[in-house]
Each structure stands twice: as C-alpha cells, then as structure tokens.
Structure 1
Amino acid sequence: MTGLPWDASYQDGPAPWDVGGPQPAIARVAAEGGIAGAVLDVGCGSGENALHVAALGFSVLGVDVAETALAIAREQAVARGIEAEFAVADAFHLERLGRRFGTVLDSGMFHTCDSDERPGYAASLAAAAERGATLYVLCFSDIGPDPGPHPVGRDELRGAFEAGGQWNVVAIEPDRVLTRFHGDDGAPAWFATIERI
C-alpha cells in the first residue's frame, strides 16, 4: 500500500502477501535442514514463516514495524500453542536488537527497499547475524510474466549483498512468491542463499 504506513496493510483484512501459511520456499528450506541456531525473521508480518519454523523447535524472533501484524502473529502463536517471540524493530537498525542469529529469513522485505537503501539493509542484517550464519532472501523477480511489485534483478540482489564485504552469495535460484493476487502458482521470485562472512 504505497504511501501508507505498513500497519495499514493489516487493518482491513489480510495483507496482499498474507497467504495463511508459510511461503513454500521457506517451508522447503526448513524441511531440507537449512535452518540452524536461533532464527530471525525480518519483516515477519503476521508471522506465518516464523511460526512454521518455531513449530519445528527453533528459537524464533520475528520483527516488523507493523504492530497490527505483530499482534496477529502473537495471537496465532497462542492459538496454535507455538513458542515464538515477536517484536517491533527497524529492519535498517537490527544492531539495536543486541542479539545475533544463526539463520535470518527475509521473505518479501528486500524488494521493498530502494536501491540506495539496500547497502544499509545488508549491513543491518549482517549486524544481527553470527559469522557463518545463513540468510535466505525470497523476493520478487524481474524474470517471467506477471511479476510482483518492485521486481528485482539477479545482479541487483547479488550486488547489494556482496558490495559490503560482509556476505557471500552462495546461490540465487528461480522460485515463486505466493500472494493473494497471483493465483495458486504465485509470482516469479528469486530465492537467495547468502552466508555471513
């Protein structure tokens, strides 16, 4: 909802990216054993990815600026009997958390950043990641028909994380992002696996 606070996206029903469950890419990487240590979910929204990972037994902190979304996430955690923590935090100042994580999830946050914001965002993520931690980024791709808003090129994604010398991009693979407006197959996406140096 361009021009409105993120919180407004959650006040009149589900947000466009709130699909009532985890993104398949996040569920897949969890099922494949790709999650390790404490987990940070940046821009967690109503918490579906965080809750999915927490239900597997991981310690999870989901952060967002949208307090309505966080309230929904907390309600869902209680309703499902899942232990997960949700807190208001600025994705561009994650050092303020005073904590470091072994796995960091970004499902739909990166593509909301303008090109001039991306270096600061990558540095913020690095400040919250242990050395050797894995960051997973799921974002809208510029490849394929019917892209989502703010699609990102593969080179843009790689460049944003490799420029600062704090991250190593291991892989960027084509994937899909589910939304409430792209049908059952979702929108074209990149799924990046990035390691903290």
Structure 2
Amino acid sequence: MTQSPHIWNTVYDNDTAPWVIGEPQPAILAAQREGWISGRVLDPGAGAGEHTIALTELGYDVLGVDLSPSAVAYARRNAVAKGVPAARLEVADMLAFADPGTEPLGEFDTIVDSALFHIFGTEPEARATYVRALHRLCAPGGHVIVLALSDTEAGFGPRIGEAIIRDAFTDGWTIEPLAATTYRGRITEVVAEEAARHNLPTEGPIDTAAWIARIRRT
C-alpha cells in the first residue's frame, strides 16, 4: 500500500502547509525535556524537518523521512538555513515498511510521530498498515510518540478520538501515558475558509486541542 505525494508536494512548493510553523512543536520539545526521547530516532512524516533538525542539534542520531520529495527538499533547505546541515532527511513511504519484503530503514529506539498518525483517522486499513510498519521499525522496548489533533474541539485538520489511538496500538504495544495537549499550526489559504466556519482566527499561529501518547513496543 502506497500513497501519492502530489497533494503534499503542492503545499510545500507553495509554502501553504498549515503545520509548517518555523519551529518544532512545543509538545514534542516538552516530551524531549521529560526524557521521552532516547537512542536512535526516526521522524516519520518529517515535513519541514523541524524535529529532525532540533533533535540533531541536541545530539541525537535521527533520521527524518517524508513521502513528499518537495517536503524533503524544503526540509534540507531549512536545515542549512538553521545551521544544521548534518540533519539527515530522506524520501520514504512509511506504509511500504509494513511489507516484510521491504528492506527496513533500520531499528529505532524512539519514533516521533508529529501529525502523521491522525492522517489515517478515517482509514482503518491504512492505519493498521502504518502501525505494522511502526512495529517493524521500532526496537523491542522502544517507544513511539504520537502527537495527533483531537476531536474534543472543532477545527481544521484531521481530528481523531482517544479511542482510535488506543484501538490501533493493542497487540505488541503498551500505551503508557496518553494525555491531552495542544498542537500549534498556522492559518494559511489551505485552511482559512474552514477556520472561519469554526469562528477561529483567520491568520497567524493557532494552538488547538491534541493528544500526546508514549507507546512502548513489547
């Protein structure tokens, strides 16, 4: 199972991605400070590369991957601009790694999923495929961190309930903390109309309800 990168290429080529905020997500930085991130790190759906760049600068061995070639090109430029040219960013389809016949990227102690898991909120088959890929890439005893938009408030973007996270990570996983947090986005032309429908600001940065979970691979 693979995805088309076209729609993602478009928002990076036009710099209209509402999740590109010029910095890492505050919730991910807080998780790092709390000791949630260790060892070799994978940043799937790396986008603009903010987490790959920040974690590389902090001394982690981290690889960022994204389905979109435009996203990876954007992220590589971003890494150079931020003075972290050593940040490693590659094009890869995470769903492909669920297939045992596909050569894995390696084994990772921590996988930092910032706003990728929730993309599969209405696609149970794709979600199950993605979780199989995570299980294959995560070292036994390692952790997946999931930051996903929450359906506890209305707004733009794919929003999911807590139950979707809990139901996805059952066999082979143990959910440790799963808590409410916030996700920071920005209003761009891609989401401005939807934001207005929900009486949200129509420009600038915005913090919205999210979930954060630390999930151990057993």
Fold conserved between structures, TM > 0.5: yes
Distance of 1:73 and 1:190 partners within structure 2 = 25
Measured after TM superposition, the shift of residue 14 of structure 1 is: 4.1
1:86-125 to 2 correspondences below 5 Å: 86-94=89-97, 96-113=103-120, 114-125=123-134
Q: Counterpart of 1:154?
A: 162
Cα distance per residue 1:69-125 (max 9 Å; x no partner): 111211222233322211111111235334010100110101111222111111101
> Higher Cα Rg: structure 1 or 2?
2
Question: Structure 2: any 5+ residue segments left out of the alignment?
Answer: 188-200
Contact 2:12 2:71 survives alignment (8 Å): yes
Report the CA distance shift for 1:51/1:175 in structure 2 as closer, same or farther (over 3 A).
same
Question: Structure 1: any 5+ residue segments left out of the alignment?
Answer: none
Distance of 2:31 and 2:113 partners within structure 1 = 13
Q: Counterpart of 1:38?
A: 40
Report SS of the residue matched to 2:185: coil
Name the amino acid aligned to 1:152: I
Distance of 2:178 and 2:205 partners within structure 1 = 23
Number of equivalenced pairs: 192
Measured after TM superposition, the shift of residue 65 of structure 1 is: 1.0
Distance of 2:147 and 2:106 partners within structure 1 = 23
Distance of 2:160 and 2:133 partners within structure 1 = 20
- Deviation larger for 9-18 or 102-111: 9-18
TM-score, scaled to structure 1: 0.91
Runs of 4+ in 1 over 6 A off after TM superposition: none
Distance of 2:156 and 2:174 partners within structure 1 = 26
Measured after TM superposition, the shift of residue 150 of structure 1 is: 1.9
* Identical residues among aligned pairs (%): 35
Q: Counterpart of 1:78?
A: 80
Q: CA RMSD in A?
A: 1.7
Distance of 2:115 and 2:156 partners within structure 1 = 10
Contact 1:7 1:65 survives alignment (8 Å): no
Measured after TM superposition, the shift of residue 185 of structure 1 is: 4.7
Q: Counterpart of 2:213?
A: 192
TM-score, scaled to structure 2: 0.82
